[in-house]
Structure 1
Amino acid sequence: MTRYPTEFPDFGLTAEQRRHAVRGHYYEWPGMDGERGEIWCYSNRFSYRAGEMVTLHVSSTAPS
């Protein structure tokens, strides 16, 4: 059985920001982080069984 942590890393969030990050609906879009650049990666499903193939979709805000 997998044991999950009871504590989460401290990313410097306030209690309000942490509550919103955990319980709120937060939609992201490329370019939210300004000029720093971003890498986006997602799969077409939320979970997989052991041994199943995962297809990753990756993009970035870097100029091509």
Structure 2
Amino acid sequence: FDTEDEAMAAAEAHIRALAAGLAERAGTDQARIEIARDIRVATIEGERSFVEAIVVATATGRPRIAS
């Protein structure tokens, strides 16, 4: 990725899709997905430098009701 923002957007979209798929397999079709990120940067010679990011998705939802 050319920018940190592009990389973070792609990471969040990917992890959101994974969490939604796992939530659906677990039995919910209306999962609420929350994203948390921990971004590590370093300042070298006065310039911010991206080091790493940890992106975590948490999906919650009620089970589907059988009809």
TM-score, normalization: structure 2? 0.28
Tell me: higher relative CO, structure 1 or 2? Use CA pairs within 8 A at least 6 residues apart.
2
Structure with bigger strand share is 2
Structure with bigger helix share is 2
TM-score, normalization: structure 1? 0.29
